[in-house]
Amino acid sequence: MLAVQVLVNALVLGCLYACIAIGFSLVWGVLNVINLIHGSFIVLGAYLAWAAYQWFSIAPWYSLAIAAPLFFGLGYFLQRVVLNRVITAPVLVTLTLTFGLDLILNNAMIYYFKADYRKLTLNPPMGSVSILDVVVPVDRLMATGLALALTGLLYLLLRRSRVGRAIVAVRLDRDAAVLMGVDVKSIYAVAFGLGAALAGCAGVLMSLIFPISPLTSTAFLGKAFVVCVLGGLGSVSGAIAGGLLLALVEGVGSTLFGPAHATTLSFGLLIVFLVLRPQGLVGRKGFE
Amino acid sequence: MTRTNVALLVLIAGVAALPLFGGAYALRLGTIACMYAVLALSWNIVGGLAGYPSFATAAFFGFGAYATGVLLGKGAPLAVSVMFSLIASFILAAALGAVLLRLRGHYFAIASLSLVEVLRELVNNATDLTGGGMGLNIPLASGSGILADAMFFFYAMWGLLLATALVVIAVMGSKLGFGLACIRQNENASNMIGLNANLYKSIAFGLSACFVGAAGGVYAAWVHYIDPSDVFDILYSVKPIVMALMGGLGSPFGVVCGAFLYLGLEELVWRNYIQIHSGVLGVLIVMLLLFLPHGLTSLRARMFWGRARHV
Amino acid sequence: MSEILRLSQVSRHFGGLQALREVTIAVNKGEVLGLIGPNGAGKTTLVNTVCGVTPASSGAIIFDGHDITGLKTYQTARKGLSRTFQIVQPFADFSALDNVAAAALFSQSGNSLGAAREQAHAHLDFVGLGAQANQSAATLTLAMRKRLELAKALAMKPKLLFLDEVNAGLNSAEVERATRLIHQLAADGITIVMIEHLMKVVLNVCTRIAVLHNGQLIADGQPRDVIRNSSVVDAYLGQQYAQRNAARG
């Protein structure tokens, strides 16, 4: 049945969207920085997975374990050395700064990898499963499963670990956290590192499904934006809610109006939410 | 008329003499220089004077480009088409501004950024009118010969720059400019003293868009071919901000100097490092923001950093 | 005495929190009304609601014969309502003069910036900031900023002036000075509603006192009577104060 297929597609895609957005959402919610490098991190992660498979025959799910610490380190370093200098500056500065950093990273990727699209094709291919007339490609299913696992891991980290609690504290009230003895500078770096790690891992998962090229980084970034505004900043539940909503709107919109309008719809929805409900479905007002 | 405003007008007058010193290349560079200056001066109205970090410049640039392009395609004269772009951009921005300017800080930045995306996609999909992703061919609108063409468009863009500068100077000395300065410093207090902040912000947004739209129109006529990803390029939103930051927010003279300086750097990099030119631009932006956040004319530094809090 | 402001059954809630409960009160022209009550009683909310910062959830507000319920902040300002903020809100980059000139310029139609600046000098002199006219507002001390706030409010030529804790953070000499200014304003005929915690000032200046507690008006009348009112004592003043007062007679 078409409706069920659309729904299932939306569910699968929604989880992937949530995974793309969660790192971005965390950084925005905790550091109050809109990290425009996020899209490029995702693409870089995809390249890593591709290279690992191409040259060392390492399957993407194992690449996750490589990507996570590498990207964490990259993000931690970037925040401590560059971003921390402007952490109290108005959004104009931080946005333009991350834009500049993204230009550097993106240009570097185009220079070294060239802009042509690559595809990570698994050998042997995984095919698809069919349950009651609904078809889902297995690689997408696996990616979704892993995406959910990653998101769940982050959730546990934020709830259960000391570092996680500190991150949430800083997100809720930075000044109070300082008074409680939290080393905010270090937490910022950890949170940014986490955001980068999640982006890198999301990229690894994306490599299973989408073609890889530096030119796709803005598309990923755009999705992350919309998911954050729709769902709410800085929380796992927000990312999932936003991801599902976006995927649903795109799926239904595509079916009714054709796929060409999908991006317009999503950004139009973004603006509607910004005006009517800026805190998103789940978020609480005042975290701008 | 303050001293820096006089300096600005002298600078612009000086630029008018450019065709005496150079050939086609200099004219091309000069035209872009004037265009960049228009974009930067316009952005300064909403970003520097009113304090709202708008990333919507590309949206109106593209809108203006397509409005003029489509009209020229239908046989309208150039002046009429560009004037239409100017007026339509003002109205569109004022209307959108009434809604979007209720947002502050990050949310406003995002919303303005999304405007670029939305308009680009709308133009992309309106294939019958705009040619969609295949682009729009624009008929030649003026005289014969490359040099004559180049000279014409240089002066067209220069004229636009002069108009923009005069309007900006007028605004800054007026009640509107004073009101925008109040809004930038404390919007709540502005409302409390009887200033209709929403109205002022809308007008500012409209003014920041109209010359940008006109510039887009002139650009479209000049290059004869545009497509959505070309004119709705996010760089048209970011570059004016970088130029304004380089020159010092709030000072029109500083902003125009920033625009010219930026173009100089861009040309230098493009000619020598074409493959990595966007990377070099990125490095420039990063260096600027980290080490020279007050811009080259650091007069208005306090205004810019006013609301920073400390960790 | 004629009425200048009347609130009828004005309520305001924020989600589940009822900040004002059916407050009905009238302010007469030329009065100095003291608005007292414990923290969180709704005093600032009341001012915010009248001025249009937050709309009333229900009820009506009539000012100087006009129904101003639901009007926006800048509209009530132009109708003759003016206020100071508890936490001062200057235009930090502007000079003291431009701060006051801004208030004069936008609250009245048909003013030019030059004329507004001239008027501003007079208001600055009145509050004793004449010498600081060209100083940036950010460099003024707290006491000076409070007086600047007052000068701005006066530049709007208000018919009714809300003073929200003008004395918070001031030492006793500064409080004395502020009190003398308020006396002068009252003598000039401006109706004043002041939110104040310093009972000494309230009793010194106010011709009438209203008491808010949990969003409700629990007392309204002559100062002598209100401070002896048992519910006011329980809610706000406390037994010690009542005893000290009774001893003074």
| Predicted-complex ipTM score | 0.87
Q: Cβ(A158)–Cβ(A236) under 8 Å? A: yes
By residue range, what is the domain housing residue A40? 2-276
Residue with tokens 């605004």: B171
What would the mean pLDDT of A1-9 be, rounded to a whole number?
Answer: 81
Point out the least confidently predicted range of B50-64, B180-194, C162-176, C233-247. C233-247
For C78, the closest chain B residue by CA position comes to: B194
pLDDT of residue B143: 53
Q: Count how many domains chain A has.
A: 1
Question: Each residue of A132-182: pLDDT tens digit?
Answer: 777 888 888 888 888 888 888 888 888 888 888 888 888 888 788 888 888
Task: Provide the residue ranges of all domains of chain B, joining segments of one domain with +.
Answer: 22-234
**What SS3 class is residue B16?**
helix
Instruction: Give how far Cα B248 sits from Cα of A237, B33, B57, B244, C41, Å.
Output: 42, 18, 18, 6, 47
What would the mean pLDDT of A76-88 be, rounded to a whole number?
Answer: 87
What would the mean pLDDT of C196-224 be, rounded to a whole number?
Answer: 87
Chain C interface with B: residues with Cβ < 8 Å: 51, 53, 72-74, 77-78, 83, 85, 89-94, 102-103, 105-108, 112-113, 138, 152, 156
Chain B CB contacts of A103 below 8 Å: 278-279, 281-282, 285
What would the mean pLDDT of C218-242 be, rounded to a whole number?
Answer: 82
Residues 6+ apart with CB under 8 A from C169: C142, C143, C146
**B109-113, B200-204, C40-44, C87-91, range with greatest mean pLDDT:** B200-204
Residue C109 banded pLDDT, cuts 50, 70, 90: confident
Q: Could you tell me if residue A166 is inside a domain?
A: yes
- Hey, which chains touch C, using 3+ CB pairs under 8 Å? B
**What SS3 class is residue B224?**
coil
Amino acid identity, residue C200? K
* A95–B285 C-beta distance less than 8 A: no
Please name the member of C53, C74, C91 whose beta carbon is closest to the beta carbon of B186. C91
CA B31/CA B18 separation, integer angstroms = 10
pLDDT of residue A288: 33
Question: Each residue of C200-211: pLDDT tens digit?
Answer: 888 888 999 999
- Helices and strands in chain A: count of H runs, count of E runs: 11, 2
Chain B CB contacts of C106 below 8 Å: 179, 182, 190, 193-195
**What SS3 class is residue B306?**
coil
What would the mean pLDDT of A262-273 be, rounded to a whole number?
Answer: 81
For C111, the closest chain B residue by CA position comes to: B175
* A278–B102 C-beta distance less than 8 A: no
Query: Which residues 72-111 of A are in CB contact (within 8 Å) with B?
Result: 82, 85-93, 95-97, 99-108, 111
Considering chain C, tell me which residue range(s) the CATH 3.40.50.300 domain(s) occupy.
3-80+158-248
pLDDT of residue B306: 41
Please name the member of C74, C93, C112 whose beta carbon is closest to the beta carbon of B306. C93
Asked if pLDDT for residue B300 goes beyond 60, the answer is no
C230 CA: distance to closest CA in chain B (Å):
37
Please name the member of A95, A97, A264 whose beta carbon is closest to the beta carbon of B109. A95
Nearest partner of C237 among C197, C191, C185, judged by Cα: C197
Asked if pLDDT for residue A60 goes beyond 60, the answer is yes
Residues A89-94: contacts with CB within 8 Å, 24+ apart? A89/B293, A89/B305, A89/B308, A90/B53, A90/B105, A90/B304, A90/B307, A90/B308, A91/A34, A91/B53, A91/B105, A91/B106, A91/B109, A92/B47, A92/B53, A92/B109, A92/B241, A93/B245, A93/B289, A93/B293, A94/A32, A94/A33, A94/A34
Percent of chain B predicted with pLDDT > 70 = 91
CA B196/CA B187 separation, integer angstroms = 10
Q: Could you tell me if residue A284 is inside a domain?
A: no
With touching defined as 3 or more inter-chain CB pairs under 8 Å, the answer for chains C and B is: yes
What would the mean pLDDT of A34-57 be, rounded to a whole number?
Answer: 91
* C102–B178 C-beta distance less than 8 A: yes
C102 CA: distance to closest CA in chain B (Å):
8
Q: Could you tell me if residue A281 is inside a domain?
A: no
Question: Each residue of A233-253: pLDDT tens digit?
Answer: 878 888 899 999 999 888 888
A263 CA: distance to closest CA in chain B (Å):
7
C107 CA: distance to closest CA in chain B (Å):
5
pLDDT of residue B303: 45
Asked if pLDDT for residue C145 goes beyond 70, the answer is yes
pLDDT of residue B54: 93
pTM here?
0.86
Chain pair B-C, CB pairs under 8 angstroms:
68
Q: Cβ(B60)–Cβ(B45) under 8 Å? A: no
Residue A287 banded pLDDT, cuts 50, 70, 90: very low
Percent of chain A predicted with pLDDT > 70 = 98
Percent of chain B predicted with pLDDT > 90 = 47
Percent of chain C predicted with pLDDT > 70 = 98
pLDDT of residue A46: 93
Q: Could you tell me if residue A285 is inside a domain?
A: no
Complete DSSP assignment for C51-90: HTSS--SEEEEEETTEE-TT--HHHHHHHTEEE--SS---
B283 CA: distance to closest CA in chain A (Å):
7
For C85, the closest chain B residue by CA position comes to: B189
C3-80+158-248 belongs to CATH 2.60.34.10: no
Asked if pLDDT for residue B305 goes beyond 50, the answer is no
Question: Each residue of A199-223: pLDDT tens digit?
Answer: 999 999 999 888 899 888 888 988 8
B293 CA: distance to closest CA in chain A (Å):
8
Residue B301 banded pLDDT, cuts 50, 70, 90: very low
pLDDT of residue B311: 30
pLDDT of residue A61: 84
Amino acid identity, residue C65? G
* C74–B197 C-beta distance less than 8 A: yes
B212 CA: distance to closest CA in chain C (Å):
29
What would the mean pLDDT of B80-103 be, rounded to a whole number?
Answer: 93
Q: Could you tell me if residue A283 is inside a domain?
A: no
- Helices and strands in chain B: count of H runs, count of E runs: 15, 2
Residue B294 banded pLDDT, cuts 50, 70, 90: low
Q: Longest Cα pair distance anywhere in chain C, in angstroms?
A: 56
Beta bridge partners of C73: none
Whether the ω angle into residue A124 lies within 30 degrees of 0, i.e. cis, is yes
Q: Which two tokens stand for residue B133?
A: 């992703």
Question: Each residue of B258-270: pLDDT tens digit?
Answer: 999 889 988 888 8
- Hey, which chains touch A, using 3+ CB pairs under 8 Å? B
Q: Best interface-test mutation with C: which of B192, B196, B199, B300 has the largest number of C CBs within 10 A?
A: B192
Question: Each residue of B164-221: pLDDT tens digit?
Answer: 999 999 999 899 999 999 999 999 899 999 999 999 999 999 999 999 999 999 999 9
CA B39/CA B62 separation, integer angstroms = 12
Residues A162-170: contacts with CB within 8 Å, 24+ apart? A163/A187, A163/A190, A167/A26, A167/A30, A167/A191, A167/A194, A170/A30
Instruction: Give how far Cα A252 sits from Cα of A147, A264, B308, C79, Å.
Output: 23, 14, 43, 51
Chain B CB contacts of A271 below 8 Å: 100, 111, 114-115, 118
State the pairing for strand pair C58-63/C66-67: antiparallel
Between A179 and B116, where is the model more confident? B116
What would the mean pLDDT of B222-242 be, rounded to a whole number?
Answer: 90
CA C111 to chain CA centroid, nearest Å: 25
Between C241 and B286, where is the model more confident? B286
- Buried (b) or exposed (e) across A73-99, using 16+ Cβ within 10 A? ebbbebbbebbbebbebbbbbbbbbbb
Question: Each residue of B126-158: pLDDT tens digit?
Answer: 888 888 888 888 887 555 556 667 888 999 999
Instruction: Give how far Cα A230 sits from Cα of A105, A224, A282, C208, Å.
Output: 28, 10, 9, 51
Q: Best interface-test mutation with B: which of A107, A246, A257 has the largest number of B CBs within 10 A?
A: A107
Chain A CB contacts of B308 below 8 Å: 88-90
Amino acid identity, residue C218? I
Residue A1 banded pLDDT, cuts 50, 70, 90: low
